[in-house]
């Protein structure tokens, strides 16, 4: 049956959660990561562990790459393309930007025209990934929809098909720009509140249930109030996505997004990059 055999290349925070859900859905799932520790835990969950990317992809109907950036994808996948099964789908699900996505699509067409490329970044962080509630922003050949259906259903609550490959990455950058404004808005509102003697619980009580009560903002408000900056979506990854958005829209001013990039870059340089993106709040009160 189409999509019954899946390979996942990259098993960090998101990739490992996705792999566990694929296994739980009854899909034969092979995983590979540079870190043996990352795949050892998945073996205990029922995944098969490959010694190389080539071994991982050899029998897969669907190959998922969930790697942190374009450099990582380019260091792993090109040497593995000849090992892909004929008729397989390569689902590129990390956020690597518009230009890099187009480059991968073109390269695949030139080397393996019998393999379909699907640009399918996901919206959501660790929590939705763990519970299979990601939003899949898919784009690519119509023939790939049936092949990827079971895998995408195991990973996400919903898959939206947006047209030709590249449209998924474009939508992801727009969605993450919106997300970034929400998170920085929460961080700065809480910083202002601390200067004015407003307790975070008081702000939460005023917003709760009203038109300003966005679920994501509410979740980050509570996370900040608890002092819990365990990474669900690391700040350094969020900054990468902001910068990809700015690069993709080089003809636009985007003054708020550019200012946000500068602020978050300072936060990453101050040592908050591996913390959750909500650590943007800590950077606002860091004298350094």
Secondary element (H or E) of residue 37: helix 36-45
CA dist., res. 130 & res. 133, Å (int): 8
Cα-based angle 270, 272, 273 (whole degrees, multiple of 5): 110
Please list the helix, strand and coil fractions of the chain in percent, rounded to the nearest 5, in that order.
55, 15, 30
Average pLDDT, the chain: 94
**CATH for the stretch 5-164:** 3.40.50.720
Q: What is residue 252's predicted lDDT score, i.e. its pLDDT?
A: 81
Neighbours of 180 (CB within 10 A): 22
Q: Which of the four pLDDT bands, split at 50, 70 and 90, describes residue 287? A: low
Q: Are 160 and 112 in contact (CB under 8 A)?
A: no
Average pLDDT over residues 3-22: 94
Residues with active-site annotation: 172
Q: In this prediction, what percent of the chain has a pLDDT beyond 90?
A: 90
Whether the Cβ atoms of residue 105 and residue 119 lie closer than 8 Å to each other: yes
pLDDT band at 2 (very low <50, low <70, confident <90, very high): low
Confidence of residue 200 (pLDDT cuts 50, 70, 90): very high
pLDDT at position 53 over 80: yes
On the CB side of 181, how many CA atoms lie within 13 Å of its CA? 12
Q: Yes or no: say if 108 and 81 are a contact pair by the CB < 8 Å rule.
A: yes
Does position 288 have pLDDT exceeding 80, yes or no?
no
- Answer yes or no: is pLDDT of 251 > 90: no
Convert 51-90 to b/e letters by CB count within 10 Å (16 or more is b): eebebbbbebbbbbbbbbbbebbbebbeebbebbbeebbb
**Do 170-284 and 5-164 have the same topology in CATH?**
no
Nearest to 171, CA basis, from 267, 251, 245, 117: 245
Looking at residue 38, its pLDDT comes to: 87
Return the pLDDT at 15.
96
Q: How confident is the model at residue 1 (pLDDT cuts 50, 70, 90)?
A: very low
Separation between Cα atoms, residue 62 and residue 246, nearest integer Å = 31
Query: Which tokens is 1 given?
Result: 């049956």
Task: Flag whether pLDDT at 114 surpasses 50.
Answer: yes
Structure tokens, 276: 């959750």
Containing 111, the helix (H) or strand (E) segment is helix 98-111
What percent of the chain has pLDDT above 70? 98
Q: Distance (Å, rounded) from C-alpha 137 to C-alpha 167?
A: 8
For residue 171, what pLDDT is reported?
97
- What distance in Å separates the CA atoms of residue 86 and residue 71, rounded to the nearest whole number? 25
Closest C-alpha among 166, 174, 169, 104 to residue 141: 166
> What mean pLDDT do residues 230-243 have?
95
Least Cα distance to 286 among 256, 264, 260 occurs for 264
The distance of Cα 129 from the centroid of its chain, to the nearest Å, equals 9
Nearest one of 54, 17, 11 to 31, comparing CA atoms: 11
Domain ranges of the chain: 5-164, 170-284
Instruction: Check whether 4 has a pLDDT greater than 70.
Output: yes
CATH class of 170-284: mainly alpha
**Strands across the sheet containing 122-123:** 122-123, 134-138, 156-161
């Amino acid at each position: 049956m189409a999509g019954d055999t899946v390979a996942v290349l990259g098993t960090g925070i998101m990739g490992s959660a996705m792999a566990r859900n694929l296994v739980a859905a009854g899909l034969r799932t092979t995983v590979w990561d540079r870190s043996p520790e990352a795949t050892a835990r998945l073996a205990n969950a029922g995944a098969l562990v490959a010694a190389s990317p080539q071994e991982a992809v050899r029998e897969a109907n669907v190959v998922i790459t969930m790697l942190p950036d374009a450099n990582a994808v380019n260091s792993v996948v090109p040497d593995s393309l000849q090992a892909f099964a004929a008729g397989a789908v390569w689902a590129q699900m990390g956020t690597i930007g518009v230009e890099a996505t187009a480059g991968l699509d073109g390269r695949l067409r030139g080397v393996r025209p019998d393999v379909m490329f699907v640009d399918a970044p996901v919206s959501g962080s660790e929590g939705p990934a763990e519970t299979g509630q990601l939003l899949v922003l898919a784009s690519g050949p119509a023939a790939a929809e049936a092949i990827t259906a079971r895998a995408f259903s195991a990973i996400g609550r919903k898959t939206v098909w947006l047209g030709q490959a590249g449209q998924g990455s474009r939508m992801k950058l727009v969605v993450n720009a919106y997300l970034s404004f929400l998170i920085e808005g929460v961080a700065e509102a809480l910083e202002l509140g601390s200067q004015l003697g407003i307790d975070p619980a008081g702000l939460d009580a005023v917003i709760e249930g009203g038109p300003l009560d966005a679920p994501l903002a509410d979740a980050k408000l509570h996370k900040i109030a608890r002092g819990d900056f365990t990474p669900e979506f690391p700040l350094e990854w969020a900054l990468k996505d902001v910068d990809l958005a700015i690069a993709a829209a080089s003809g636009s001013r985007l003054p708020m997004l550019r200012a946000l990039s500068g602020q978050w870059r300072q936060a990453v340089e101050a040592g908050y990059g591996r913390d959750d993106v909500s650590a943007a709040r800590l950077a606002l009160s860091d004298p350094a």
